[in-house]
Structure 1
Amino acid sequence: MGKIVLENIKLFGFHGCMPEEKYVGSHYTVNLEIEFDLYQASINDDLSKTINYIDLYSIVKEEMDINSKLIEHLAQRIIKRIKKYNKPLIKYTKIKICKENPPLQGNIDRVCVILDNSDC
């Protein structure tokens, strides 16, 4: 078993329940972890035996461009798309999405949601 981890993907999106979030938008940080058997890729040096992290990034970016009220919903959509992308190979998926500088009446850096495929 092994993992591909995409750390600190920086994207901009328009997610949230407050009206201003739909117009002003926010910065987001996404961390994605995919667990699967890396053995064949490691001995064959063959891209077809692994999961292309460029494809994973594209899925995250495309889903980020679709507005959601909740980042929980966004996280679930991303996990479902990744599972559909290569279901037989993937054993476990975990995603953490953080909204940077959320519109709260207080001093807070970010609000994050963590979801894994056992939740989906």
Structure 2
Amino acid sequence: MTSSGTVQVTDHREMLNGDKLVLRGLKFHGYHGVKPEERKLGQKFLIDVDAWMDLRVAGNSDNLSDTISYTAIYRIVKEVVEGASQNLLESVAQLIASTILSNYHQVSAVRVQVGKPHVAVQGPVDYLGVEITRYRSVDMQS
């Protein structure tokens, strides 16, 4: 917010051109949705995550301690998707993104895509879902 009380909009596109950790095609069974059968029977969810951070030190050192383990992010996604039921995919994605940003200060931005391959629509689809991008500089301010 500026001194005049207006919100200052920042273009974050340049941030998304940097280094990132990439997790693709994560599959979990969860109980998210607004329909009772979705919450009772559950269904498969497909998750992709990009976590932007500077990977130069890890690239030069070849030490895991200089980066974030893929398995640490995988565990966050698994805990959220297999955890407490949410009505909306937007909420699932937000929980994943905010947990990654809260747990790993090195991550400057995170993109989360949540897909549902089994949806009741009139035609064939691979999946339907949501994609969100969250930025530490905007979404983690107090």
Task: Establish whether TM, by shorter chain, passes 0.5.
Answer: yes
| Cα offsets for 1:10-47 (capped at 9, x unmatched) | 11111000011011111111000011100000111111
| Preserved CA contact (<8 Å) 1:4 1:34 | yes
TM normalised by structure 2 equals 0.78
How many residues are matched? 118
Q: Which runs of 5+ in 2 are unaligned?
A: 1-17
| Preserved CA contact (<8 Å) 2:101 2:108 | no
Match of 2:12 in 1: none
- Structure 1 consecutive aligned stretches of length 4 or more whose deviation exceeds 3 Å: none
Counterparts of residues 11-90 of structure 1 (less than 5 Å): 11-65=28-82, 66-87=84-105, 89-90=106-107
Structure 1 residues 29 and 105, CA gap change in structure 2 (3 angstroms)? closer
Name the one with the larger strand percent.
1
Q: CA RMSD in A?
A: 1.4
- How many percent of aligned residue pairs carry the same amino acid? 28
Higher relative contact order (CA 8 A, sep 6+): 1
| Preserved CA contact (<8 Å) 1:101 1:108 | no
Alignment counterpart, residue 6 of structure 1, candidates 23, 46, 53: 23
TM normalised by structure 1 equals 0.92
Aligned-residue offset at 1:95: 0.6
